[in-house]
Structure 1
């Protein structure tokens, strides 16, 4: 099966937020290490492992262009060359982050509106769309099952993903969906406390990350970082 690619933003491996998230999720996309889950928020390690199962597969990141298979006639070398050129023209961004609940899952979100960040994501969606193969009918059905607005449905058809452009909201996911409100509140309080010191200063996003999933079900790994400004 062909690999799947994604364009993400992620703190560097030596950033304390990266180290915390790798331990929390049980997966480090930079090193491939799998730290064992630990009890937290009054919950046993097995429950933490269950709550982090979905984001664990992708690694700690903020999505700029969602996962895609390469279009016919495109290869990884061409994608990398385009990434290098794209990154050369960009400037680092300093992003204030805070913990938040997004529906029933928890994530770090920008603490204030950031038009420059929204523009970066929109440019990634548009500029790299020539590399994206059309989604399968199965993928389209999975997206539609969540219930899409008219605009989201149009974006799904145009860009292969419903939450782009005006629908884009950067987030660094730390849990899957937590249906129980009391449990969700307890985990949110725990993560807010744990990340407070790590997000006291703005997080500098100074490169574009190429994440690769080698085969279906495998976790994504960071295959390259492309520095803004060259």
Structure 2
């Protein structure tokens, strides 16, 4: 079993509902969802292009999937996440948008969000003691020969090349898309997501996600509210 620490909007957030429909799976319940009818693209096309993010569910990763270290437990991880999340105040991403990152599409902040970058860096550092070291096979799957010097250093220090200065927050909504299909897929994504992207996104929790069996889908195990308990009760 692997764990990941992420941000995902609450189940009641309109973005969560739209994303579950698009990806075909609810990241909270794990249930499969019937995809919507979208002009210009068939349901089989949607299923094909969302196969990779469907497994992981709608989220933005803060601490990439990891096995627990031998000397820690899930109970300890949960307890530490409760304390950690309470030490950060909620914040907002003013606007997110559909964007192409290399050969896939994600929802990303329209302008860099320093609060999210700081949160992600803190998560990586604080929870590093909970992760087991990467195996040689896991390192090879990352293809270290294709990394920059900074990414290579991150891989060996933090178990992930894309952290700290190499981090960019994104919520994937497709897997790889070939160049021919990109305009059509982008148009479909904008028609689906833009109606719910007008409002700021509130970041008020961090999520612990778990992998259901080796190579299985991820789902949200628990949401950990940000801010002190007393302040949340007053709010």
- The structural deviation recorded for 1:155 is 0.5
> Hey, what's the Cα distance between the residues in 1 that align with 2:193 and 2:73?
38
Segment drifting more, 78-87 vs 212-221: 212-221
> Hey, what's the Cα distance between the residues in 2 that align with 1:68 and 1:80?
15
SS in 1 for 2:65: strand
Segment drifting more, 5-14 vs 32-41: 32-41
> Hey, what's the Cα distance between the residues in 1 that align with 2:145 and 2:32?
30
Distance 1:7 1:161, change over 3 A: same
Q: Which residue of 2 aligns with 1:160?
A: 159
Q: Deviations over 1:194-220 (max 9, x none)?
A: 222211010101001000013112111
Q: Deviations over 1:22-54 (max 9, x none)?
A: 111111111221013355352322221111010
> Hey, what's the Cα distance between the residues in 2 that align with 1:161 and 1:120?
16
- The structural deviation recorded for 1:193 is 2.5
- The structural deviation recorded for 1:185 is 1.3
Q: Deviations over 1:122-177 (max 9, x none)?
A: 00000000000011211111111682111101111111110000000000000000
Q: Does 1:94 align with 2:100?
A: no
SS in 2 for 1:94: strand
Q: Which residue of 2 aligns with 1:172?
A: 171
> Hey, what's the Cα distance between the residues in 1 that align with 2:163 and 2:144?
17
Q: Which residue of 1 aligns with 2:232?
A: none
Q: Which residue of 2 aligns with 1:68?
A: 66
- Picking from 194, 203, 225, the partner of 1:205 is 203
- CA RMSD after TM alignment: 1.3
TM-score, normalised with respect to structure 2: 0.93
SS in 2 for 1:182: coil
| 1:70-219 equivalence runs, <5 A | 70-95=68-93, 96-144=95-143, 147-179=146-178, 181-219=179-217
SS in 1 for 2:31: coil
CA contact (8 A) 1:41 1:186 kept: no
Distance 1:84 1:50, change over 3 A: same
Distance 1:146 1:106, change over 3 A: farther
Q: Which residue of 1 aligns with 2:233?
A: none
SS in 1 for 2:142: helix
Specify every segment of 5 or more residues in structure 1 that has no aligned partner in the other structure, as ranges.
none
Q: Which residue of 2 aligns with 1:55?
A: 53
Count matched residues. 227
SS in 2 for 1:195: helix
Q: Which residue of 1 aligns with 2:8?
A: 10
TM-score, normalised with respect to structure 1: 0.95
Segment drifting more, 89-98 vs 166-175: 89-98
